[in-house]
Every structure is written in C-alpha cells, then in structure tokens.
Amino acid sequence: MYKSFVLLAVLLPAVFFAGCKEQTTEPTREQTNTLLPLALGNSWKYKLYNQSSDSTGQVVWTVDKKIIVDSLEYFFIRTTGFTNNSYVARIESDGLFLSAYDSLNGFSFPFFFKYPADDNETYQYKMIGSDSILNITVKKQNLLIGNQNYSCYGYINQNLNPYFPFMYFSENIGLIRHKLVWYVGGRIDTTYHFIYDLESKTINN
C-alpha cells in the first residue's frame, strides 16, 4: 500500500512605532498586520508529534536571506532539525505566498494564503507551473497550544483534505500549527497525523 504525506496547510505583521518629540510630530509608519513576519533573522521553533508519540523531534524555521526568482524578490526560509528543507515566502497585497523551494527545481507545493479573509470564506488559487486550481476555505478559530491561546486563520485545502485546516497562522506571530495526514489508497485517513506546533519564536520586525 502506497503511503505519502499530504501537505495540509503565515503572515506575521511587522509593527513599527515612531515617537514624538516635544512640540514636533515625526512621521508615523502605519502598522502592517501580516500572517508571517518576514525580516531577516526571524525564527520559529516547532515541536513535532504524531498520533502515537507526543514528541518526535524539533524543527526550526529561520528567515535566512533574500533571493530573486523570475525577477521577484522572496525571503528564503531555511529549516533545520528534524527536516532540512527550504521555503520561499513573499507578502502580496492580498495575502502570503509560500512554497517549498530549491534552486534546481524551483517551486514545489506553491500555496497562497489569502489575508485578511472572512470566516468560512472560500477562494481559488491556480498553482504556479500547473493547471491545477485549488479551492481553499478559511476558518477563524482559537487554538490552544501549550498554555498559550492563539487567535488563528486556518486554511483548508478542499482538493486534498476537506476535514480540517493544514496550516494555522496567528496574526503578527506566524505559523502556529502545521498538520499533515496520511493519504492511503486514494483517500485521507485522519486517524494518522503529523503535527508541527509552535514552541518559541524570535521576531525582529
């Protein structure tokens, strides 16, 4: 029987403050809310677990550098620990583009997270380099991880797993949870899962 993980589906905000001097007011930058804060050096550490173990390792995502792909600038995210992969991310006017990436093969599993979005809103995304059109539904919900309660945008890929979101983002914090399930014999088996949960973060901007 062939088994493979199905990628189940962050924009974090950068917040700037400008002070006021006596009798003068300096220009104030507007606060920018985002699913994933893309400043160099930002990092997120995740605890990994599955249905049979509450600890299978850790992985760290780090915003490492900026790169140019097809004349557009992306932030390059390196992962270390349980997996050693790389992603690229770019904040668009209406959301976040995120994809696995390598210099030889380019984008793998490109995905677009609409933001802001309404609860239960469904939108379509045509995957780069293919004719595939994904139907994605947004779920707004609170998510308790450890002792921390997060207000999240959850993204359901209706084409692969319509049962629950595969990625959860908390505004101005980043990716909170990444949940994968088994795809067995042409169907989803939700009794088997693999989860990344946020443990700690370093946000520079």
pLDDT given for residue 23 in this prediction: 40
Specify whether the CB–CB gap between 196 and 178 falls below 8 A.
Answer: yes
Q: Which residue has the higher pLDDT, 8 or 60?
A: 60
Q: Which two tokens stand for residue 162?
A: 């319509």
d(CA 50, CA 114): 28
Name the band, by pLDDT with cuts 50, 70 and 90, for residue 143: very high
Give the mean pLDDT of the chain.
Answer: 85
Which residue is it, tokens 């809310």? Answer: 33
pLDDT at 26: 45
Query: What pLDDT, on the 0 to 100 scale, is given for residue 31?
Result: 52
* H or E segment to which residue 36 belongs: none
| Residues 198, 191: Cα–Cα separation, whole Å | 22
Q: DSSP class of residue 108?
A: E
More confident residue, 12 or 6: 6
- How far CA 15 is from CA of 18, 168, 204, in Å, comes to 10, 21, 10
What pLDDT does 21 receive? 33
Token pair for 173: 């914090």
- pLDDT tops 80 at residue 8: no
Q: What is the pLDDT of residues 23-80, one digit of tens each?
A: 434 444 455 899 999 999 999 999 999 988 888 999 999 999 999 999 999 999 999 9
What does the pLDDT read at residue 36?
98
pLDDT at 16 over 50: no
